[in-house]
């Protein structure tokens, strides 16, 4: 119903449940149980158990807590995602971004900090342990001994 021609974002994100349309201005905090698309302006905080799409003309100023995000417009603030954040080529992001996975397309503008956490401690912890064990197995050789 709201799908734009050539917009593959919907295929990636599933069905669209909530829309803030082009030309609309929403001020305040917004909590949604399903997916959200913003093509207008939102000033406030967003909380969603699902995903958000910010269209190339969409603007968000505030704190966003979601599962996944596809950003094609402007975001100023903080985005915290338990899954993946994609900054499309038209995106302009200013602020703090935390996600398990981050994709930044060529042409996107990113001015801020990012932090990725998808169980890296266990992955790097295992590698560090293997390196330590390998070092312990190597015995120093005294000069002149064979």
Query: What pLDDT digit, counting tens, does each position of 88-122 carry?
Result: 999 999 999 999 999 999 999 999 999 998 654 44
Q: What is the pLDDT of residue 135?
A: 53
The first and second tokens of residue 78, run together, are 């903080």
Q: pLDDT class for 10, splitting at 50, 70, 90?
A: very low
In the chain, the number of structural domains is 1
Alpha-carbon gap, residue 13 to 34, rounded angstroms: 10
Residue of 13 and 92 predicted with greater confidence: 92
In a domain, 127, yes or no: yes
Helix (H) or strand (E) holding 113: strand 109-116
pTM of the entire predicted model? 0.72
Give the least confident one: 4-8, 21-25, 42-46, 71-75. Answer: 4-8
116 C-beta neighbours (distance < 10 Å), count: 12
Please report whether residue 44 resides in a domain.
yes
Q: Higher-confidence residue: 124 or 21?
A: 21
Handedness of CA 17, 75, 47, 101 (dihedral sign): positive
Domain contains 15: yes
* Domain extent at residue 93: 9-136
Q: Is 16 a domain residue?
A: yes
Residues 6+ apart with CB under 8 A from 68: 13, 50, 51, 52, 81, 83, 84, 85
Query: Which of 3-12, 70-79, 126-135 comes out lowest in average pLDDT?
Result: 3-12
Q: What is the mean pLDDT of residues 28-36?
A: 93
Residue 54 lies in a domain: yes
Residue with tokens 């269209």: 55
In a domain, 143, yes or no: no
DSSP codes, 33-93: SS-EEESSEEES-EEESSEEEE-TT-EEEEEEEESEEEE-SEEEEEEEESSEEEE-TT-EE
pLDDT of residue 23: 95
pLDDT at 117: 80
């Amino acid at each position: 119903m709201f799908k734009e021609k050539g917009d593959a974002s919907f295929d990636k994100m599933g069905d669209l449940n909530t829309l803030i349309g082009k030309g609309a201005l929403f001020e305040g905090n917004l909590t949604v149980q399903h997916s959200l698309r913003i093509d207008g302006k939102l000033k406030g905080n967003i909380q969603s158990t699902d995903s958000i799409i910010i269209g190339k003309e969409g603007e968000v100023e505030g704190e966003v807590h979601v599962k996944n995000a596809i950003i094609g417009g402007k975001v100023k603030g903080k985005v915290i995602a338990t899954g993946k954040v994609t900054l499309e080529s038209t995106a302009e992001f200013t602020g703090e971004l935390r996600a398990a996975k981050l994709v930044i397309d060529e042409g996107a503008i990113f001015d801020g900090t990012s932090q990725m956490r998808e169980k890296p401690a266990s992955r790097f912890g295992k590698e560090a342990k293997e390196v330590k064990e390998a070092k312990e197995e190597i015995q120093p050789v005294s000069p002149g001994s064979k």
